[in-house]
Chains A and B, each alone.
Chain A
Amino acid sequence: EVQLLESGGGLVQPGGSLRLSCVVSGFTFSSYVMNWVRQAPGKGLEWVSTIVNIDETTYYADSVKGRFTISRDDRRNTLSLQMNSLKAEDTAVYYCAKGTHSSAWDPFDYWGQGTLVTVSS
């Protein structure tokens, strides 16, 4: 059974940092592209970042570029998102999502349950 489990969310002050993790099981992590998608309270889905498995090419939404860093550890089956210089508008539930294959433009076929990040003083 495919499982994705996010952790690391919490309350952080504006300008602060947080590191999210997503531990996966049930599939060969190293064979798939991985993504982060967020959803602000009461709002729609917003793509955050993508990391390709083959060469670890990364992609970022303009709203987080230069502040967030996506990474993966294929030995530990773990996807991470390092978030720096956090702003109030980064407040959201953050989901990790598995791609169907190895391309950045492959759809997301499995999602975690999400972890809530709240940026507030």
Chain B
Amino acid sequence: QSVLTQPPSASGTPGQRITFSCSGSSSNIGGNTVNWYQQLPGTAPKLLIYSDHQRPSGVPDRFSGSKSGTSASLAISGLQSEDEADYYCASWDDSVNGWVFGGGTKLTVL
């Protein structure tokens, strides 16, 4: 069981807007920032969103992040087939004094 809770799967059609949720607690999301990672099939993870809503250079503005209380969300607008991947949220946890990840959400583009 992951400390951060994510739905295991999601699906959408090209052009659609889709959101992923990530639920935690006061010791992680509630008190620290959230990062999102994208893992394309067979590749290493890639930083997609950091500090709740910041995008690294090179990440399209179709990707956006937000946080409220102990939950965070990742949104993808204008869904594309190449967005098919696993998406993980992560946050520093003050209780375990380390990083915690969500179990990941597998996105299928229909």
Interface residues of A (CB under 8 A from B): 35, 37, 44-47, 50, 59-62, 95, 97, 100, 104-105, 107-109, 111-114
The contact string, 1 if C-beta is below 8 Å from chain A, for chain B 73-105, is: 000000000000010101010001111111110
Query: Cβ of B45: which chain A residues have Cβ within 8 Å of it?
Result: 37, 45, 95, 97, 108, 111
Interface of A is mostly: strand
Query: Cβ of A46: which chain B residues have Cβ within 8 Å of it?
Result: 101
Output the nearest chain A residue to B51 by Cβ-Cβ distance.
A107
Output the nearest chain B residue to A62 by Cβ-Cβ distance.
B96
- Whether B50 pairs with A44 at a CB distance below 8 angstroms is no
- Whether B101 pairs with A59 at a CB distance below 8 angstroms is no
Chain A nearest CB, measured from B29 CB (Å): 13
Chain A nearest CB, measured from B58 CB (Å): 11
Chain A nearest CB, measured from B87 CB (Å): 11
